[in-house]
Structure formats: C-alpha cells, structure tokens
Amino acid sequence: MIRSYSLFLTVVIAVLLFNPAVSRAEGDIEAGQVKSVVCVACHGIDGNSPADQFPKIAGQVPGYVAAQLEAYKTGARENAVMLGIVGVLSEQDMADLDAYYALQVPSIEGVSEKDMEDVLAGQKLYRAGYAGYDVPACMACHGPDGSGIPPNYPRLGGQHVAYTEMQLHAFKSGARKNLEMQSIAHPLTDEQIRQLALYISALQP
C-alpha cells in the first residue's frame, strides 16, 4: 500500500511540474464576465449552478475550466449540450471564461443531520483513502479542504452532491475517460460514492 501510494504521489508531482497548460492564453476577467452570459442558464450568474445536475464552476482552480472546455471541443470529453456551446469558442474565449470563474466565490452545500453518519464515512475515504483496494486519499490531489491544485486537479469543495455522484459513477463505468480517476472510482461502491459526495459538498477553505 505504501509503495503504490508513493508511486501515485510521484506521478502527481510529475504532472504538475511538466504540464504544458502553462502556455495557455492569458485570460481577461472582464471579457470573461461578458462572455459568461451563454453559461448562465446552466451554471448560474456567478458560476454557482442552481441545478444539481450542472456543476458549480465558481472558484474553480485556474486553468481547469479552460482545459475542460477544450476537452469538450476536441471530443475528449463528451456532452451534446457543451459541444454545441464550445464549437464557437476560441482559445482566448476559454481563457477569459476561466479567469472570470476562477475569481468567483463558490457557495457551500448544507448537510442534514440525518446524513452525518455518511458524511463521517466520506471524510474517512477523502482523507485516508480505501486501503483494501489501494485507493489513495482524495485530498492528495484535491487538497485537504477540497480547493484543488491547478491546473489539473479541480476544486471539489461545495460541489452539488448529485453532480459529484454522477461524475464518480461516470469514471467508474468508463463513460468519462480519465485513467487516474477510473482506477480510483472503480472499486468504490454506490454507498461509498454517496458518502464521498456528501462530505465533499460540505468542504470549504
């Protein structure tokens, strides 16, 4: 377990040090705010989506929103709605939107008393991983408070429970392509995915 976890951390550090995303266009915050009008219907006025099937992108780590928009445009990430939107976006448009949303303040989800047992179980998974299947702690990449590590590891804290569950299930099934996350999500049960999503929703800096 220790050996596999050390190897995992080595890969993480290498990705962060040698990622080509540093060469992306520099974003203009004011321009991004103007361009964000096309995002409001799903992601809310400030990136805090009112609907739990759409992600909150307010306060997302710099570089991540632009990278995901590019992934939708190239087909590396599939979503019919997003494909229709990103088709007309330039690299500069993506950088501007990225800069704008990175500065917005993310809202935090509340957790009900009846869910506290699951929240505590999710906390254990997030902070310590799942040793039985060599699943590393989520905080190794996403931070102890879920604030993420730019540009590859997104902010998770405060995300909608339903959206986080949906993405973990997509990684687990292979519907969303990311070898790192697929290997992490694959051994998780539906209950563990729910527990993680509940804990993540309450995380804040």
- The radius of gyration of the chain's CA atoms, rounded to the nearest angstrom, is 17
Asked whether residue 44 is domain-assigned, the answer is yes
pLDDT of residue 94: 98
- Are 120 and 91 part of one and the same domain? no
Return the closest-CA partner of residue 89 out of 163, 155, 31. 31
- Average pLDDT value for residue range 142-159: 97
Q: Tens digits of per-residue pLDDT, 52-82?
A: 999 999 999 999 999 999 999 999 999 999 9
Domain housing 84: 12-102
Q: Tens digits of per-residue pLDDT, 162-193?
A: 999 999 999 999 999 999 999 999 999 999 99
- Are 132 and 51 part of one and the same domain? no
Domain boundary, last residue among 102, 134, 159: 102
Annotate 25-60 with b (16+ C-beta within 10 A) or e (fewer).
eebbeebbbebbeebeebbbebbbbeebebbbbbbb
Query: Which letter does DSSP use for residue 130 in this model?
Result: B
- Are 69 and 93 part of one and the same domain? yes
Query: 60-64, 100-104, 110-114, 179-183: which range is least confident on average?
Result: 110-114
How far apart, in whole angstroms, are the C-alpha atoms of residue 69 and residue 87?
A: 10
Question: Can you list the alpha helix ranges (DSSP code H) found in 75-189?
Answer: 80-86, 91-102, 116-128, 139-142, 161-173, 179-185
- Are 119 and 194 part of one and the same domain? yes
How far apart, in whole angstroms, are the C-alpha atoms of residue 171 and residue 122?
A: 18
Whole-structure pTM value: 0.86
How far apart, in whole angstroms, are the C-alpha atoms of residue 124 and residue 128?
A: 6
Query: 55-64, 89-98, 108-117, 136-145: which range is least confident on average?
Result: 108-117
Asked whether residue 5 is domain-assigned, the answer is no
How far apart, in whole angstroms, are the C-alpha atoms of residue 198 and residue 161?
A: 6
Asked whether residue 2 is domain-assigned, the answer is no
Count Cβ atoms within 10 A of the Cβ of residue 64 and give its class: 0-12 exposed, 13-18 middle, 19 or more buried: buried
- Are 112 and 169 part of one and the same domain? yes
- Are 113 and 197 part of one and the same domain? yes
CATH number at residue 172: 1.10.760.10
Asked whether residue 6 is domain-assigned, the answer is no
- Count the domains in the chain: 2
Residue 12 has pLDDT above 60, yes or no: no
Place of tokens 């964000």: 36
Query: Which letter does DSSP use for residue 72 in this model?
Result: H
